[in-house]
């Protein structure tokens, strides 16, 4: 695959075009850091947007859910989808309310998701979901059995029509506003984990694993 994904008329960033990014490294880093994507689709003239966990394996993203869910029933029939991911990095407080903004990194991917049938690929996708959130957990916990695999639908969306949009950096005020006696700056935002809370039915003799006790968010 090429290092840059040529933008299409649907993925080219138009407003603030300089914030668009089309290289795989930038796009994949955003996807790998995010935990939740929103899957948009339409059925019978009604649009839906569903949040769900996802994982990237190579040049595709995988998302999953109950085999009986409306989203997965319709998507598996070949309905086009729009998958979006957004990371919020900070509030940008300008001297004027109009110029307030947010530092963010986002990805939009378009295409048709493919229902995954092969058990090996299903397991790899589920492993990717698990290891993305808690590296080391897949080999520590019980893995899905045949009944659970049948009850779960996994869909793959190739990353062939995708782009990123990023806003970073300081305040951008109108020239005349820089003289105003108003505080301006950026408030950084970050998702920070707390300490692990043991399940009350968990044997107290089982030590807290390092991946939980020293958990750090993927960056």
In the chain, domain spans: 17-172+181-213
User: How far apart (Å, rounded) are the C-alpha atoms in residues 157 and 114?
Assistant: 6
End-to-end CA distance of the chain: 24
CB 71 within 8 A of CB 65: yes
pTM: 0.90
Which uninterrupted H or E stretch holds 31? helix 24-33
If you ran DSSP here, which 8-state letter would residue 4 be given? B
Q: pLDDT tens track of the chain, all 219 residues?
A: 569 999 999 999 999 999 999 999 999 999 999 999 999 988 788 888 999 999 999 999 999 876 667 766 666 667 789 999 999 999 999 999 999 999 999 999 999 998 888 889 999 999 999 999 999 999 999 999 989 888 888 899 999 999 999 999 999 999 999 999 999 999 999 988 999 999 999 999 999 999 999 998 776
User: How far apart (Å, rounded) are the C-alpha atoms in residues 102 and 117?
Assistant: 41
CATH number belonging to the domain at 17-172+181-213, selected among 3.40.50.300, 3.40.250.10, 2.30.110.10, 3.30.70.1400? 2.30.110.10
């Amino acid at each position: 695959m090429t290092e840059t994904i040529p933008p299409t008329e649907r993925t080219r960033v138009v407003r603030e075009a300089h914030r668009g990014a089309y290289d795989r490294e930038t796009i994949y880093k955003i996807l790998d850091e995010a935990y939740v994507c929103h899957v948009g689709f339409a059925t019978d003239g009604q649009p839906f947007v569903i949040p769900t966990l996802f994982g990237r394996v190579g040049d595709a993203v995988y998302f999953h859910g109950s085999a009986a869910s409306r989203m997965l029933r319709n998507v598996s029939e070949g309905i086009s989808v729009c998958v979006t991911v957004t990371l919020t990095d900070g509030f940008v407080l300008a001297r004027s309310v109009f110029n307030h903004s947010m530092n963010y990194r986002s990805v939009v991917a378009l295409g048709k998701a493919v229902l995954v049938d092969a058990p090996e690929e299903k397991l790899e996708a589920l492993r990717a979901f698990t290891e993305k959130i808690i590296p080391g957990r897949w080999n520590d916990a019980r893995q899905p059995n045949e009944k659970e695999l049948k009850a779960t639908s996994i869909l793959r969306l190739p990353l062939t029509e995708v782009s990123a949009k990023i806003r970073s950096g300081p305040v951008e005020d109108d020239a005349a506003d820089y003289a105003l006696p108003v505080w301006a700056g950026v408030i950084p935002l970050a998702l920070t984990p707390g300490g692990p809370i043991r399940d009350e039915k968990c044997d107290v003799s089982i030590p807290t694993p390092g991946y939980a006790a020293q958990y750090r968010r993927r960056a």
